[in-house]
Amino acid sequence: MPSLAEYRKKIKGVSSTRQITKAMKMVAGARFGRASRSNTDARFYQAELEKVSFAYLSLLGGRKAPGLFSLFRMPGTVAPAAVSKVGVMVVAADKGLCGDFNNAILRAGDGVIAKNAKITAVLMAVGRKSVEHYRKSTVPVKTEYAQFFNRFDFGMADTIGQEAINLYLDNGLDALVVVHSHFKSMIKQELVIERLLPIEPVVPTDTLYRCTITEPVEEQEILQTLLPMYLKAKIYGILRDSFAAELASRMRAMDNATRNAGTLIDTITLEMNKVRQALITREIAEIIATNEVVK
């Protein structure tokens, strides 16, 4: 049976852990507020840029366009019957201690790769946990991006977006799929597997975008700038979304850890009190027995 000193040592250790998890929850909460606002702004920027890009694509009227226009599959065109080469971008976190956040993403990424095992797979790992995981896998990692989520801006999305475009065009990919976590609420983050490239544009119904005047500049010239910008904005939105989901998962995980630590302290305290009561009872019995002997 452990001694009272050992019980007190356990309580002290668990109390220290509870203070750490409580502090981590508060830090994640403070960062989540900024991340949530940035995520909302990124979604709005992406949505507006998408409308403008798709409006200009609709102005082409299905005409053939060279270069970067291969990133899009124009409405009415037939998708390839067989996919021979696919790229997979797996976006995880730079840090752990956020529950099942990273494991769920990595399992989904492994599932996508396993599903396409018979075809050539090109991998992009984003986030330190993703990089470390796929360095141990048999699938070669073409590009790695880690340790940037703490302070990243559109410049990082611009870099990753340009690399995704180069990867898609230079390797002749049929599709580029991204696996990431989508923030829905504080208690729910949704795992998303979506095709990043090629993009199938939808003609916007908003007349403000459909009636855009581009003279004297040709639509194709404008789209040469708009298409990469839209793709990078989409990746920026994915990164912001993933970061907000990570912080929400960390807050929830640290809150659960803090609660569990409190429950464990109560359990240890109860056991310690039982041991102390048993010692007191035994001492009283010894005193009574000694008193009887003396009499």
What mean pLDDT do residues 68-94 have? Answer: 69
Please report whether residue 32 resides in a domain.
no
- The answer to whether the CB of 128 falls within 8 A of the CB of 95 is yes
pLDDT bracket for residue 72 (50, 70, 90): low
Please report whether residue 103 resides in a domain.
yes
Residue 245, pLDDT > 80, answer yes
Please report whether residue 272 resides in a domain.
no
Please report whether residue 43 resides in a domain.
no
Domain count, the chain: 1
Please report whether residue 273 resides in a domain.
no
Which pLDDT value is given to residue 78?
45
Please report whether residue 15 resides in a domain.
no
Nearest CA to 238 among 147, 162, 129, 160? 160
Dihedral sign (CA 135, 194, 67, 206)? negative
Which pLDDT value is given to residue 282?
81
Nearest CA to 51 among 198, 200, 209, 195? 209
Domain carrying residue 198 = 49-254
Which pLDDT value is given to residue 150?
81
**pLDDT per residue as tens digits for the range 250-280:** 999 999 999 999 999 999 999 888 888 888 8
Please report whether residue 116 resides in a domain.
yes
CATH code (residue 76): 3.40.1380.10
Please report whether residue 223 resides in a domain.
yes
Residue 107, pLDDT > 90, answer yes
**Overall pTM surpassing 0.75 (yes/no):** yes
